[in-house]
Amino acid sequence: MIKVITYGTYDLLHQGHINLLQRAKKLGDYLIVGVTSDSFDKGRGKLNVRNNVLERVEAVRATGYPDEIIIEDYLGQKIDDIQKYDVDIFAIGSDWEGKFDYLNEYCKVVYLPRTKGVSSTMLREVSQEVFKVGIVGSGRIAKRFVPESKVVNGIEVAAVYNPNQESAEAFAKHFDLKPFVEDYHLFLNEVDAVYIASPHLTHYQYTKEALYSGKHVLCEIPFVLSASQANELYDYAEKQNLVLLEASKTAYCPAFCHLTTLVKSGVIGDVVDVKASLSKIMEGVTRELDVAQAGGAMNEHASLNLMAIIKLLGNDYSYVDFYSKVKNGVDIYTKANINYPHATSSITLGIGVKTEGNLVVSGTKGYIYVPAPWWLTSFFEVRYEDQTKNKKYFYSYDGEGLRYEIQEFVSMIVNYRRSSYKLRRRECITIADIIEKFNKKINYTEI
């Protein structure tokens, strides 16, 4: 019996796929088709895939050609599969000509003619509505958003709003956008959705007005600084059937998503401790060091680090305590312990103190180590007492990493999903609640 294997994403299954599967089947007696997993596609930069893995598997099965379907989940898997399934022929479309010659060592490699004039990319482009997005704020993070948005289908950055005329105009000129300076509502009329990247204390008002104008909102961290404000905004977004998403970028990146599912599936046993840290020395006259602009290590860095803890340990913590070093009214260093009935956790944050920026998740069977900078997760290791069982996971963290949150935002809008399992409403509210507790304490006691 001659065994043939072929691989693909098979998004929005089209005639090109069907022809390819038919040709591959004709090469032998038994056809195995490898369909990429969702996380594998994201990890290799294929962000815009429309159908999820189950839909794609079903579509491939419905062609009637495969005798067996497997999931492709990691780089290098083809070599494993060819040996495991005793494959005679590896077949793939001619767009890959030469790229898989290295597999000749394991079986025969055949490049089959590709069907002209159709591809999943093409189908995605023609069927996708394009949303106009406006950016509120034109600072450092806003600058990263525009290039990152270009790799995501279905979004076009059209306008920028900043009450500071010079800044709005310079940004608009640089990225070829329409600037708005005075009237926020005129700006809102111009777009379908907004990305809020303005100073912390303006997030609440800008988000509220955008939602009231019927616009979807992606808001930078820290979303808002109080649980009641977060609650109010989510309530309103839900009532209006709008997407409201906190741009906690790490929550959406492939490696971190995989880390959370591994932990939840018990690879390190019961989680007993999570430690997350992030520090960046800030100097000079800057918003981060200004008490009037909600500066400080906690407001600046807590969101991402609390996000990791809450994703892994949940919302129901028992109590939280803080230790800070304060300079000119802002915490230049804060350590917070967030205790749970079943576990403990801490965040260590600095804007005037430097420390290691890693993430360690400790469990009863082993631990996960993510080296600094953990929030740009591209690699982590699961470690055990018996080191021969340790496992390293590598992912790509493409560009500035904002593309993953942008993709989730667009996918929620397009697919009428109003909640993201990657960062739930309740989790955002818990983050805001802990930040609020800290700000109340620091205002009263000057720790």
93 in contact with ligand CTP (CB under 6 A): yes
Which of 29/97 has CB closer to ligand CTP? 97
Residues 6+ apart with CB under 8 A from 357: 277, 278, 279, 372, 373, 374, 375
Quick check: 380 and 370 in contact, CB under 8 A?
yes
20 in contact with ligand CTP (CB under 6 A): yes
34 in contact with ligand CTP (CB under 6 A): no
Q: List the one residue from 52, 104, 121, 189 that touches ligand CTP (CB under 6 A).
A: 121
407 in contact with ligand CTP (CB under 6 A): no
DSSP labels, 80-100: HHHHHTT-SEEEEEGGGTTTT
In the three-class reduction of DSSP (H, G, I as helix; E, B as strand; rest coil), residue 280 is classed as coil
Neighbours of 54 (CB within 10 A): 10
**What crossing angle do the helices spanning 227-239 and 203-212 adopt, rounded to 10°?**
10
42 in contact with ligand CTP (CB under 6 A): no
438 in contact with ligand CTP (CB under 6 A): no
Binders of ligand CTP: how many residues, by CB under 6 A? 17
Q: List the one residue from 11, 81, 246, 398 that touches ligand CTP (CB under 6 A).
A: 11
Total residues belonging to the chain: 447
Q: Which stretch binds ligand CTP (CB under 6 A): 7-15, 154-162, 181-189, 205-213?
A: 7-15
118 in contact with ligand CTP (CB under 6 A): yes
Q: List the one residue from 4, 5, 16, 18 that touches ligand CTP (CB under 6 A).
A: 16
- Cβ-closest position to ligand CTP: 93
Q: Which stretch binds ligand CTP (CB under 6 A): 11-19, 298-306, 411-419, 421-429?
A: 11-19
Q: Which stretch binds ligand CTP (CB under 6 A): 2-10, 150-158, 279-287, 357-365?
A: 2-10
Place of tokens 């969101």: 303
DSSP-derived letter for residue 295 is: -
Q: Which stretch binds ligand CTP (CB under 6 A): 70-78, 112-120, 165-173, 423-431?
A: 112-120
203: left (phi over 0), alpha (psi -120 to 50) or beta: alpha
CB 422 → ligand CTP: shortest distance, Å? 22
Q: List the one residue from 25, 33, 120, 435 that touches ligand CTP (CB under 6 A).
A: 120
8 in contact with ligand CTP (CB under 6 A): yes
DSSP labels, 128-154: ---EEEEEE--SHHHHHHHHHHTTSTT
Q: Which stretch binds ligand CTP (CB under 6 A): 16-24, 59-67, 324-332, 378-386?
A: 16-24
119 in contact with ligand CTP (CB under 6 A): yes
| CB-side neighbour CA atoms (13 Å) of 367 | 13
In the three-class reduction of DSSP (H, G, I as helix; E, B as strand; rest coil), residue 77 is classed as helix
What is the distance between the alpha carbons of residues 329 and 114, in angstroms, rounded to a whole number? Answer: 65
Phi, psi values for residue 358, rounded to 5°: -110, 175
DSSP labels, 363-387: ESSEEEEE-SSGGG-SEEEEEESSG
Which of 26/365 has CB closer to ligand CTP? 26
Which residues here bind ligand CTP, judged by CB under 6 A? 8-11, 16-17, 20, 92-93, 95-96, 114-115, 118-121
